[in-house]
Amino acid sequence: MKQIQLNNGISIPQLGYGVFQIDDLEQCEQGVRDALQTGYRLIDTAACYGNEVAVGHAITKSDVPREDIFISSKVWIQDTGYEKTMASFQKTLDNLQTDYLDLYLIHMPYGDYYGSWRAMEELYQSGKIRAIGVCNFLPDRLTDLIQSFDVVPAVNQIELHPFSQRRDLRNLMNKYRITSMAWAPFAEGQNHLFTHPILKKIGDQYDKTPAQVTLRWLRQNDIVAIPKSVHLERIHQNFSVDDFKLSDSDMTKINELDTGHPLILDVATYKEAYRLHHITFVQ
């Protein structure tokens, strides 16, 4: 599996397995187990997904050593602030049955994320977290965080797929060597991604599906991707993107699919965030 070096020198697998919206804990545990058996070594969860315990079970029961697995989790809005983030982090460790995290992220750019970042810097310096980062930070808040603290985020996890390519944000992130981590790499199926005629035509040249073409496009842009599926066949399919390479002309055609705006979550509108996570925003 291709690795990407973060701005603090540690490596992250370029392709991982996401567990958002796998609310059935047995199904989540099975999904992580299938992913690990397939070869995935990056698992992305979050406190607000309610399934960290299932992820922890799958990891502790697996034959893969803990140090070979890159685990990322996130602190949710209600737990922003120094004290609450410290407590939420410990709960995440307990849920996952581990004594360190590979990557810990601020989930949303809302609430007291300054306090959270202070806590995360401390946890990072003490070795409890190997890298810290953010999600859904747009240029203004990202710049503010970078200017106000010592540690530059290693990662910004953002909605990123062929229909929302975030070029301006990625250009800014490149300046600080902040790695892009694509959530909803398939746009959760919106815009008919899985049957999209252009992605399908490109894929037909290589006997690959639109999903695989999308993941390969992310790979060739050095973007970490964390597709989610509860189906074994798709978990395998999504992992099978090493054996072909998109041509420059294919890459250009996919670049032209950008709509210039996100399809799933506009972080400027709080209401979308509530709807997405079924959790009330508490001040």
- Footprint of ligand NAP (CB under 6 A): 18-21, 44, 107, 135-136, 157, 183-189, 194, 211, 226-231, 234, 237-238
Q: How far apart are alpha carbons 159 and 165 in whole angstroms?
A: 8
Nearer to ligand NAP (CB atom), residue 119 or residue 187: 187
Nearer to ligand NAP (CB atom), residue 42 or residue 93: 42
DSSP 74-142: EE-GGG-SHHHHHHHHHHHHHHHT-S-EEEEEE-SS-SSHHHHHHHHHHHHHTTSEEEEEEES--HHHH
Options 17, 49, 110, 124, the catalytic residue: 49
For 82, the token pair is 């120094």
Annotated active-site residue 49? The verdict is yes
The CB-of-267 to ligand NAP minimum distance in angstroms stands at 9
Closest to 70 in 3D by CA, of 104, 103, 30? 103
| Burial of residue 106 (number of CB atoms within 10 Å: 0-12, 13-18, 19+) | buried
Nearer to ligand NAP (CB atom), residue 198 or residue 230: 230
Nearer to ligand NAP (CB atom), residue 81 or residue 109: 109
**What separation in angstroms does the CA of 100 have from each of 90, 113, 135, 142?**
9, 21, 20, 25
Nearer to ligand NAP (CB atom), residue 188 or residue 258: 188
The CB-of-136 to ligand NAP minimum distance in angstroms stands at 5
The CB-of-215 to ligand NAP minimum distance in angstroms stands at 9
* SS3 category, 236: helix
The CB-of-13 to ligand NAP minimum distance in angstroms stands at 14
Closest to 94 in 3D by CA, of 116, 80, 73? 73
Q: Confirm if 217 and 251 have CB atoms less than 8 A apart.
A: yes
Helix or strand run (H / E) with residue 53? helix 52-61
The CB-of-237 to ligand NAP minimum distance in angstroms stands at 5
Which residues belong to the active site? 49
